[in-house]
Amino acid sequence: MMTCDDAGRWLDDLVDGDLGEALASEVRAHLDACAACRAEECRRRELVLEAASLPREIQPSGDLWAGIAARLSEPVGIVEARPVRRWTVWSGMAAAAVLLVAGTALVTAHLVRSRPRAVTARASSPAAIVPAAITSELNAPQVDLERAAGALRAALESRRGQLSPATLKVVDENLAIIDAAIDRLQAALREDPGNRALVTLLTATWERKIDLLQTASELARTS
């Protein structure tokens, strides 16, 4: 009989119809006997249905055509060179910060207990790990990011009056969460200074803070 962990591992593939018949019937046998996994299967099916029925079309809030039309006569070189703006996550920022920090806490705990090699071996894509980049991060620690965040923070403080109380509350709450994560990571790094994975995670957290500050400053500027 399959364990709950095993069944959980195959649940998504079962829901998606991606499991071979032998494995599928093993998982189904577990589900027949286990109410908790059956409930989880049910919730996942609901989520998949809900995702598939989201609207196919969403009109942009403003008219984008003027901006497009203005660029249609640009020389080719300029069009190619223009970067798409860096992704920002505003609408889901609260969730993003919570997910980030929940992840950070667990990963930090994990990294402090174990060697980073075990983690980096699970890199999501070959491009995601570039030893040179990690080395340079180790050599040049978080000073630049810290300075950038400090400047953005000062800019935001000077424009606080332009943000609504509700927005300010979300920004402040998320900054507090991110700062707490940074503190935890810095403490973990003091215990294990050579831990590259912690350095990478700390860099990512600093970048998240900068993203948040940039978005908030942008909102303050345009509101």
Report 37-76 residues binding Zn ion (CB under 5 A).
Answer: 37
What 3-state DSSP class applies to 55? coil
Residues within window 164-193 making contact with another protein, judged by CB under 8 A: none
Q: With CB under 8 A, what is the number of residues at the site for another protein?
A: 72
Residues within window 88-117 making contact with another protein, judged by CB under 8 A: 88-96, 98-100, 102-103, 106-107, 109-111
Asked whether 104 and 200 are in contact (CB, 8 A), the reply is: no
φ, ψ at 137 (rounded to 5°): -65, -40
Whole-angstrom Cα distance, residue 212 to residue 169? 13
34 binds Zn ion per the rule CB under 5 A: yes
Which of Zn ion, another protein, none does residue 69 bind to, with CB < 5 to 8 Å depending on kind? another protein
Residues within window 29-58 making contact with another protein, judged by CB under 8 A: 43-44, 47-48, 50-52, 54-58
Q: x/- string (CB under 8 A) for another protein, residues 125-164?
A: x-xxx---x-------------------------------
Instruction: Name the residue nearer to another protein (CB basis): 128 or 176.
Output: 128
What 3-state DSSP class applies to 69? helix
Cβ-based neighbours of 160, under 8 Å, separated by 6 or more: 168, 220
Among 218, 209, 211, 171, smallest CA distance to 86 is for 211
